[in-house]
A and B are shown apart, each in its own frame.
Chain A
Amino acid sequence: MEGLLVSSKPKIKELLVESACEHNKGHKKGPCNTPTPGATTGGCALDGAQIALFPFADAAHLIHGPMSCVGGAWETRLTPTSWPGRDLTQTGFATDINTNDVVFSGEKKLAEAIDHVITHYAPEAVFVYSTCVTALTGDDIDAVCRQGSERHGTPCVPVHAPGFVGAKNLGSRIAGEAVLRHLIGTKEPEDTTPFDINLIGEHNNTGELWRYRHLLEELGIRVRSTFSGDGRIASIRTAHRAKLNVIVCAKSLISMTRKMEEQYGIPWISCSFYGMTDTSNSILAIAEALGDADLIARTRALIAREEARLEEKLIPYRAVFAGKKAVLNTGGNKSWSIASALQDLGIEVVATSVRKSTEADKAKARQYLGEDAILMTSPASQQAQVIDDTGAHLLLAGGRSLYTAIKKRIAFTDVNQEKKKSYGGYDGLLVLAEDLKNSLQNPVFELVDRKAPWQK
C-alpha cells in the first residue's frame, strides 16, 4: 500500500536523460526535449500521452484542463478497435476548467467528472490527464484518482504529462510509465503459452496491426497484450506474463520495456512492419527471440509463402515503377522505413531527410539507401535542387512540400496519407503501390502549374 501514498508523478529528469534516447549522445544543448521559443513545432507531452493511450477503446480518456488541450483533437485518431462496447477512443472527455477552478481548485469537479464517466460509460479504466494549468495550480490528481478507484472499483490512472514538461516523445514515455505503475501486473492471466508476446508502441493506426497480427497467430504466437492498438485494459494488466516485448517503431517506449525487463525479466526486441522486407525480418526476429527451432522453421515457410503471394500481386506494378526515382522528405524512423517499402516496389530512393534524425536513424538510412543517396539535413531548402540533380519522378513528403513538386512538375504523394490509410504489413505494400501508381499517372501535377492564357 505504501506505493499508493507517494505521488505517482514520474521523475521527469530521469525520463529525460533516459539512456535509450539517442538524441542525448554528444549533445551540447542538453536534453532533446528543450523546445526553442518561436521555433518549435510538434505536439506537447499531453499530445504524446494521448497518442500512446487513446487506442485503449475500453478505457475513458479524461483530460483535466481547458479546451485548448482537447478542442480540435478528439476523434481525430484513426485507431480502429475490435472492442464490442462503445468506442471510447472516439469519445472526448474534458473537465473544461473555468476561472473558478483555477482560483480555487478543480479537484471536486474532476472527482464529479470521474463519477459521470464511470456511471454513464462503464469503462474498464479511466486515464486522467493533467494539463499545464491544472498541474500549475496543483490539483492533486493522484488523490482524486485513488479515491475514484476506491469509490468505483475501476482503476483510475493519473497521467502526469502537462505540455510544459516537454514534447510528444516524453509524453508517450510518461504514458508507458503510468501503465507500468498502475496497470501492468495487477492481474494474473488465465492461461499462458510459451509464445506470448506484448506489442509495445503499436497503435493500430488505420488498422496497421491487423495487417500482420493474423500471421503471428497462424504461427501460434499469441499477442497477450498491446500497448495500445486495439488494446484491452484486462490484457495489459496481465502483460507481465509475456515471454517477449516487441517494440513497434517507437523508440520512446524503450524505457518502458527496459523496466519490464528489470522487473519481470521480459526481453525485448525492436521491429518495423513497413514494407515486405521489414515485415519478413520482423516476424522472423520475433520467432528467433522466442527461440523455438520448430517455430523458426514454420516462420521461414510462412514468410516464403507470403512473399511469393505478394510478388505475384506486384507484377502489374513492376513496369510502372521500373526506373523511377523518389525523393523522401519525412522524419525519424520513417526516413528509412518508408524507403525500404519503396525499394520493395522497385523504386530507387535517391534522397531522404535526416533532419531531426538520431545517429542510429541516419546510419540506418545510409544502410538502406546506399552510398550514393543524398541525406538531406535541411530538406525544405534542399529538395528542389535535389530533384533537379537526381531527375527524380516522385516526391513523398508532408503537404507543405506540394508546391515544390508542382514547381518541378513531378508527382507528389503526401506521406501523411498513411494517417488515413494503412501501408503496413505485406498487404499494405499493395495499397502503397496503388497510391503511388495513381500519383505517377495523375496529370494534375503538370497541369496545375500551366501558364494562364494571359501569362507570357
Chain B
Amino acid sequence: MAEVRRKTGKPLQVNPHKLSQPMGATLAFLGVDRCMPLMHGAQGCASFTKVMFTRHFCEPIALQTTAVTDVTAVLDGGDYSITESIKNIGDKVCPALIGVHTTGLTETKGDDLRGVASKIEAPLVYVNTPDYQGGLESGWTLTVQALIEQLTEPCERTDARKVVLVPHVSMQPIEVEKLREFIEAFGFEVVAVPDLSSSLDNHLGEKQASLSGGGVTVAELEGLADAGAVVTVGASVKPVGATLQKKNPAIRHRHFDHVSGLVGTDELVAWLLETSARDTPPAVVERWRKRLQDAMLDSHFSIGQTRFLLVAEPDHLAAMAASLREVGGKVALAIATVDSPVLGDIEADRVIVGDLEDAEQLRDDYDIIIGNFHTEALAHRVGKRAVMRGFPNYEEIGSALKNDVLYEGGAYFLFDIANAAERMRESEVHHARERIKQQGAAA
C-alpha cells in the first residue's frame, strides 16, 4: 500500500489546490431545485465562490451573501444580516429553499445559526461550514446531511424500488446523470442528493441565474425516507447513509468508494443485480462493459509505461487511481487537498496532503499530471503534460459534460489519458529528432 503523509508540514500553502468548506456547501445547495444559497459572511467569500463556479461551469451561478461588515460584525449575532438578506432576496425572487452556510468570519464571532433559523418563516436549511476547517468535500457532505436532517420527514415504510443516490462533490453533472440512469436501468427509481445533473449541466435555459435552475426538489427531499436503499459514492459522503437511516432505520445503506473502472463498476452491478433480483443486466450495460474491456487493452500499452501525478480531492483521487491501475498506470504521486480516511486505500506509490509546490519539487517522479487548471501552468514549469480534471477548470469548456465513471465513462477516460500520453511521447521524439538534425547540421 501507499506511503501516506496526512499533514502538509508547512506553515503555508504555495500554489494551493485546496478549496474551502463554504464552497462545497454552495455547490451542494446548487443541486437543489429553485434554491438560493446564502453564504453568511463578508461579501468576498461569496464573490470568489460565484466567480469560480461560473467560470468552471460556464453558467451563471445563483449565490447571495449576508454581506457582514465591520459594523454588523460587532453588533449583530447574525439575526440582522440573515433576516435582512432573506427579506431582500424575497423582494426579487421566490426561492423554494434558502441555503444558509457560514464562513470563518461568522463562526469566529460565534453566530447562533440554529437560534436565528428558528425565528425565520421562509423555507430554510442552515449548515455550519467555517472555512478554517475541512474543505470542499466536507462542506458538501455537511450540507447534504443538513438537508436531510432538517427537511426529510421520518418514515416507517420503505419502497424497495426507490434508491437515494449521494454522489461525492467531484462528480461532474453528467456523471451524476449517467449513474442515476445506470441504476434506473435496473428497474429502480433514483433520487440524487444533491443533483447537479439538471442544474449545472450546460443546458440552455432562461439564464438569469436568479435561482438554481434544476436539481432535487424540496418535496423530494422531504420524502426521501421511504427509500429502500441509500447508495453513497465516495468516502466523504459515507456518513450520509447513517444520517438518512436516522429518519428510517429500515433503509439499507450500500457504500462505494468510487464507481470507476472495471472492478469498481462490477461491484455496483453485482449489488444492483442482487438487489433487483435480476440475473443479467440491461443489454446496454453489457455492451459498455465489453467496450471498456477493449479500451483497457487498447490503452494498456501507453498507460502502462506512464507515471502519473494526480492532484485532486481525496475521493476523486481514489477513483482515478483505480482506473489507471487497472491498465498498469503507475500512480507515482497523489496529492490530496485534505486528509481523508480513503487516502490509505488509494492505489499509488505515495499519497500526500499538499500543494503544487510539493508537486514541483517532486517533478522527477512523474510524466503526466491529472488535475485542475492550475496543473496546466505547473506542467509548463516542469516540462510535462497535464490533463484537466477536478475543480476548478478555467482552461477548457465542457467540464460539466465530461464523463469518467462506470463502464462507459471509464472507456472515455482511458482514451483521453492514453492519447495525452502518446502525444507527450510523440513530442519528445520530435524534439529528439530536431536535436539530432541540428547537431548533424552543425557538424
Contact = CB atoms under 8 A, between A and B. Distances in A.
Contacts of B132: 66, 97-99, 101-102, 133
Given A37-B67, A40-B65, A116 B104 contact: no
Contact of A47 (B48, B52, B91, B92): B48
A39 B42 contact: no
Interface in A180-200: none
A315 B132 CA distance: 57
Contact of B22 (A41, A68, A76, A400): A68
Contacts of A96: 12-13, 16, 18
A120 to B, nearest CB: 8
Contacts of A45: 44
Nearest to A38: B85
- With most chain A CB atoms within 10 A of its CB, the pick from B46, B54, B84 is B46
Nearest to A73: B48
Interface string A62-86: 1001111111111110000000000
B52 A72 contact: yes
Contacts of B105: 132-133, 136, 163-164
A26 to B, nearest CB: 22
Interface in A82-129: 90-99, 101-102, 109-110, 112-113, 115-117, 120
B104 A73 contact: no
A392 interface: no
B104 A133 contact: yes
Given A68-B104, A71-B48, A38 B89 contact: yes
Interface string A28-67: 0000001111111111111100000000000000100111
A283 interface: no
A164 B42 contact: yes
> Which 5 residue pairs across A and B have the least CB separation, nearest first?
A44-B44, A38-B85, A72-B52, A163-B44, A112-B11
Contacts of B49: 68, 72
Contact of B207 (A35, A37, A112, A403): A403
A152 to B, nearest CB: 15
Nearest to B41: A132
A68 B11 contact: no
Contact of B12 (A41, A95, A132): A95
B399 interface: no
A66 B20 contact: yes
A40 to B, nearest CB: 4
A167 interface: yes
A94 B44 CA distance: 16
Nearest to A67: B20
Nearest to A133: B104
Nearest to A43: B47
Given A38-B85, A162-B42, A98 B204 contact: no
B14 interface: yes
Interface in B342-401: 373-374, 377, 391-392, 394
12 contacts: A37-B66, A38-B67, A38-B86, A43-B51, A67-B19, A72-B392, A91-B15, A94-B16, A95-B12, A116-B11, A117-B12, A406-B204
Given A95-B11, A164-B68, A39 B52 contact: no
Contact of B64 (A40, A90, A110): A40
Nearest to A44: B44
Interface residues of B, number: 69
B70 interface: yes
A402 interface: yes
Given A91-B14, A133-B105, A72 B19 contact: yes
A137 B108 contact: yes
Interface in B26-57: 38, 41-52, 54-55
Q: Which of A35, A40, A102, A163: most chain B Cβ within 10 A?
A: A163
A385 to B, nearest CB: 16
Given A68-B103, A92-B15, A93-B13, 7 more contacts: A39-B85, A43-B44, A68-B22, A68-B41, A71-B19, A93-B12, A110-B11
Contact of A165 (B70, B92, B103, B109): B70
A148 interface: no
A400 B207 contact: yes
A113 B12 CA distance: 6
Contact of B16 (A67, A109, A406): A67
Interface string A219-247: 00000000000000000000000000000
Interface of A: 12, 34-47, 62, 65-76, 90-99, 101-102, 109-110, 112-113, 115-117, 120, 132-133, 136-137, 162-167, 380, 399-400, 402-403, 406, 448
A162 B383 CA distance: 37
Contacts of B70: 12, 164-165
Given A67-B131, A71-B16, A116 B10 contact: yes
Contacts of A75: 15, 373-374, 377
Contacts of B374: 74-75
Interface in B62-105: 64-70, 72-73, 80-82, 84-89, 91-92, 103-105
Contacts of B11: 95, 109-110, 112-113, 115-116
A113 B208 CA distance: 42
B409 interface: no
A44 B88 contact: no
B60 interface: yes
Contacts of A137: 108
B109 A136 contact: yes
A401 to B, nearest CB: 9
Contact of A132 (B104, B133, B394): B104
B60 A94 contact: no
Nearest to A71: B19
B429 interface: no
A92 B19 CA distance: 13
Nearest to B15: A92
Q: Which of B20, B86, B89, B373 has its CB near the most chain A CB atoms (within 10 A)? A: B20
A68 B377 contact: no
Given A38-B88, A99-B132, A43 B43 contact: yes
Contacts of B50: 41
A95 B355 CA distance: 12
B23 interface: yes
B50 to A, nearest CB: 8
B209 interface: yes
Most buried by A among B70, B88, B89: B70
Contacts of A43: 43-44, 47-48, 51
A57 to B, nearest CB: 14
Nearest to B82: A37
A35 B20 contact: no
Given A38-B85, A137-B108, A164 B69 contact: yes
Nearest to B40: A37
B85 A68 contact: no
B210 to A, nearest CB: 10
A40 B43 contact: yes
B14 A35 contact: no
B49 to A, nearest CB: 7
Contacts of B88: 36-39
Nearest to B86: A38
A117 B88 CA distance: 43
A67 B18 contact: yes
A169 to B, nearest CB: 12
B241 interface: no
A162 B69 CA distance: 10
Contacts of B51: 43, 72-73, 76
Contacts of B43: 35, 40, 42-44, 163, 167
A66 B131 contact: yes
A242 B163 CA distance: 71
